[in-house]
Amino acid sequence: MTRSGIEELSEETLRSLLSFSKNPVSNSAQFSAFIFDLFTDLNWAGFYYYNGNALVLGPYQGKVACDEIIPGRGVCGTAFVKRSTLNIPNVHDFKDHIACDSRSNSEIVIPIIKNQNVYGVFDVDSIRLDRFTQIASTLEKLVDVFIQCTDFEEVFKIGFQPI
Ligand code: SME
């Protein structure tokens, strides 16, 4: 199958996976698991969402990670304030890289932007150097599908409650 054929199939699978809910918590969890399974050599895939003060750890796959990242710090905080994707082929060359998992060698961070609002970032780490240059545009397309299928304003009315 051609690369675009695989992309189309992944997009279609993702759309049906995310068609049951617009809830940002469940969709973020499903999306992290989907990406973690789809690509080889990943050691972390997940979200940080902005709470008005810091980027707070959201749903993810991988080892335990730092709870909060200050906007402007690390790869995540930098992509967040710049509102653009940051592809880091070698994290050891990025001065302000925050090392949550010492096995990481490359990283990509894609901001979550809907209707001009930046809600947070999607962060993926790999044990392989330069894992993301070839798949960056595919990842961005898949993140775009995730964004289309998710209502981020739901964060304020998620609907969990005690009885
Ligand atoms: N490496 C990121 C921190 C988050 S972890 O990789 C999960 C950064 O520099 O922002």
| Integer angstrom CA distances of residue 12 from 4, 113, 137 | 12, 21, 16
Residue 159 covered by a domain = no
pLDDT one-digit tens code per residue, 94-116 = 999 999 999 999 999 999 999 99
Residue 69 covered by a domain = yes
User: Which among 56, 61, 76 is the best mutation to test ligand 1's pocket, defined by most ligand atoms within 8 Å of the CB?
Assistant: 76
- The atom number, within ligand 1, closest to the CA of 60 reads 7
Which tokens in the block code for residue 54? Answer: 């810091």
- The atom number, within ligand 1, closest to the CA of 69 reads 10
Q: Considering only 8-17, 40-49, 69-78, which range has the smallest mean pLDDT? A: 8-17
User: Residue 13 and residue 62: Cα distance in Å, rounded?
Assistant: 22
Report pLDDT for 159: 55
How far apart are the CA of 34 and the centre of ligand 1, in A?
Answer: 19
How far apart are the CA of 96 and the centre of ligand 1, in A?
Answer: 10
Residue 26 covered by a domain = yes
Model confidence at 156: pLDDT above 90: no
For residue 30, which of 4, 67, 61 has the smallest C-alpha distance? 61
SS (H, E, C) 1-70: CCHHHHHHHHHHHHHHHCCCCCCHHHHHHHHHHHHHHHCCCEEEEEEEEECCCCEEEEEEEECCCCCEEC
CATH of the domain at 103: 3.30.450.40
List, in sequence order, the alpha helices (H) in 58-162.
74-82, 136-148
- The atom number, within ligand 1, closest to the CA of 48 reads 4
User: Of all protein residues, whose CA lies closest to atom 2 belonging to ligand 1?
Assistant: 98
If one counts the domains in the chain, the total is 1
Report pLDDT for 80: 98
- Determine the structural domain holding residue 78 and report its residue range: 3-154
Residue 162 covered by a domain = no
> Beta strand pairing status for 68-69 and 86-88?
unpaired
Residue 31 covered by a domain = yes
